[in-house]
Amino acid sequence: MTLVKSSSGIRGTLGGKKGEGFSPLEIIKFSAGYVSWMKRKYKNKNKYLVVLGRDGRMTSSIFQRFLVITFQSLGVDVIDIGLSTTPTVGIAVMNEKADGGVMLTASHNPKNWNGLKMFNSQGEFLSEEDFQKVFHIVEKEYFHFVSFNKLGTHRYKKNYIHKHIDTILSLPLVDKEIIKEARFKIVVDGINSTGGIAVPILLKCLGVKVIKMYCDPHGDFTHNPEPIEKNLKEICKKVPQMRADLGISVDPDVDRVVFICENGDFFGEEYTLVSIADYLLGNKIGPIVSTSSSSHALKDLSTNKGALYYSTSVGEVHVVKKMKEVKAIIGGEGNGGVIYPDLRYGRDALVGIALFLTHVAKLSKISLTKLKKRYPNYFMSKRKIRLSSNQKIGEIIERMKDKYKGKNMDLEDGIKIYLLNNEWIHVRKSNTENILRLHIESYSKKRTDFLTKKILYEMKNNN
């Protein structure tokens, strides 16, 4: 059993003893702790309002009831938007002028996981500092339930995904007409979650012919839901079979998006943000922010366009914080997460799709294989490493520091080692699973594979 608590919220596997997994008790404790934090953060109010949404997981509809009851018992009014996406909850918090919001989702984790993503009154994820305050409140159980005559209300609001999409379509750099004129034919893999609702609605508003795959939001994922190449073999075959212009896949809560080329090749999750940044920099030069685990291709693009580039620790909250500091025009992560501040400070697959299709349509409906050739071609290896019981992350990082002494290093988030020719190695603890993540990027696949084997050997053999 697993329970992970980080700046990405809480998430865990289902079942097991108290405190060892994501159970009803954890839902009640953490939602109560969140409300206690909210009341301390936004003081002197007679009433508090929270927006609640859920992804399509089989357990989300059950766990949603625990959240509603807990919020009402704490005297908080609930606007329940039902089946939704994480960015839609953020939009709803802003529209409803709510004090916060909660999304029931474990994001890209498998179907035996679930979790809570928590928002502040600006429709953004809680800061690292605020998350720590919530965790402290939960640990000390500083909860205060109300009497029967002060219970919160529960209202259901339909069609918030439509409202979210309408907001996206009103953005100046989303060109609805040029997308409609392109007459795209697109295959969509909705992973049987809420992307199967939201993405087709968006595309139909843009005049796209949609071919659906796994768009019934019953939550029984047909493949691993993380939108990376090895999990998307079926859509990669389907796109050329259907003679579609491209394919689109999202994660279960629709804050990450990846694209499939017309010939079935994977466009690459790292190049989602690269291509959208290319489009935006063609309209306005401004700072770009991503994470230290993201491809160097984004930095190259920024430099070539005359824009400042900044990197942060991995995690949406870190990217957003830096974006606000430098007034970035676009930011995100190399996992397909796009943050467009003209809409909201948070990853949003739907706005990413709208901006990407505008970019492709304005380039005379360029094929995605040709589009990718516009950008620096790096090769990245991404590995998950499960540690044995006697292995410690700190010791592994210290050994790597000694092994690569004299190299340029960044120790802000694990250890990132810079080699020659824009090669780099990054080892860090995951924010969403109890694992280490190893990312390595180089100028050729052969070189990337060599470095990956080398580092894995060094980590395993302590030399």
| 193 Cβ neighbours under 8 A, 6+ residues apart | 55, 56, 57, 217, 219, 221, 225, 252, 253, 254
Is the distance from CB of 115 to CB of 102 less than 8 angstroms? Answer: no
Give the whole-number percent of the chain exceeding pLDDT 70: 98
Range of weakest confidence among 65-79, 348-362, 407-421: 407-421
What is the Cα–Cα distance from 428 to 438, expressed in whole angstroms? 7
* Cα–Cα nearest to 414, from 431, 391, 433: 431
Q: So what's the architecture of 179-372 in CATH?
A: 3-Layer(aba) Sandwich (3.40)
Give the whole-number percent of the chain exceeding pLDDT 90: 85
pLDDT, mean of residues 163-178: 98
Where is pLDDT greater, at 256 or 398?
256
Residue 4: per-residue pLDDT: 83
* Cα–Cα nearest to 119, from 154, 141, 91: 91
Is the distance from CB of 238 to CB of 187 less than 8 angstroms? Answer: yes
Q: What is the pLDDT of residues 232-244, one digit of tens each?
A: 999 999 999 999 9
Is the distance from CB of 98 to CB of 79 less than 8 angstroms? Answer: yes
Is the distance from CB of 224 to CB of 110 less than 8 angstroms? Answer: yes
* Cα–Cα nearest to 270, from 125, 441, 436, 415: 441
Looking at 8, 107, 249, 293, which residue is catalytic? 107
Would you place residue 393 in the very low, low, confident or very high pLDDT band (cuts 50, 70, 90)?
Answer: confident
Q: Which CATH number fits domain 3-160: 3.30.420.40, 3.50.50.60, 2.40.160.60, 3.40.120.10?
A: 3.40.120.10
> Encoding tokens for residue 255?
């804050």
Please confirm, yes or no, whether 107 is among the known catalytic residues.
yes
Would you place residue 303 in the very low, low, confident or very high pLDDT band (cuts 50, 70, 90)?
Answer: very high
Residue length, the chain? 463
Q: What is the DSSP letter of 126?
A: P
Q: Tell me the domain boundaries of the chain.
A: 3-160, 179-372, 379-461
Type of residue at 429: K
Residue 388: per-residue pLDDT: 66
Instruction: Put the strands of the sheet holding 424-429 in their side by side order.
Output: 379-385, 436-442, 424-429, 415-418, 408-410
Task: Report the number of secondary-structure helices (H) and strands (E) in the chain.
Answer: 15, 20
pLDDT higher than 90, residue 460 = no
> Encoding tokens for residue 198?
């939201």
pLDDT higher than 60, residue 463 = no
Q: What is the pLDDT of residues 273-287, one digit of tens each?
A: 999 999 999 999 999
Would you place residue 297 in the very low, low, confident or very high pLDDT band (cuts 50, 70, 90)?
Answer: very high
Q: What is the pLDDT of residues 114-170, one digit of tens each?
A: 999 999 999 999 999 999 999 999 999 889 999 999 999 999 999 999 999 999 999
pLDDT higher than 60, residue 202 = yes
Strands 3-6 and 100-104: unpaired
Would you place residue 461 in the very low, low, confident or very high pLDDT band (cuts 50, 70, 90)?
Answer: confident
Hey, do 3-160 and 179-372 end up sharing a CATH topology, with the first three levels equal? yes
Is 426 buried (19+), middle (13-18) or exposed (0-12) by CB count in 10 A? buried
pLDDT, mean of residues 442-450: 95
DSSP labels for 69-101?
HHHHHTTEEEEEEEE--HHHHHHHHHHHT-SEE
Residue 218: per-residue pLDDT: 95
Where is pLDDT greater, at 389 or 366?
366
| 405 Cβ neighbours under 8 A, 6+ residues apart | none
Q: What is the CATH number that goes with domain 379-461?
A: 3.30.310.50
Residue 53: per-residue pLDDT: 98
Range of weakest confidence among 20-29, 62-71, 194-203: 20-29
| Mean pLDDT over each residue of the chain, to the nearest integer | 94
> Encoding tokens for residue 166?
């309408």
Distances, alpha carbon 359 to alpha carbons 8, 111, 444, in Å = 30, 34, 27
Structure pTM? 0.95
What is the Cα–Cα distance from 180 to 174, expressed in whole angstroms? 12
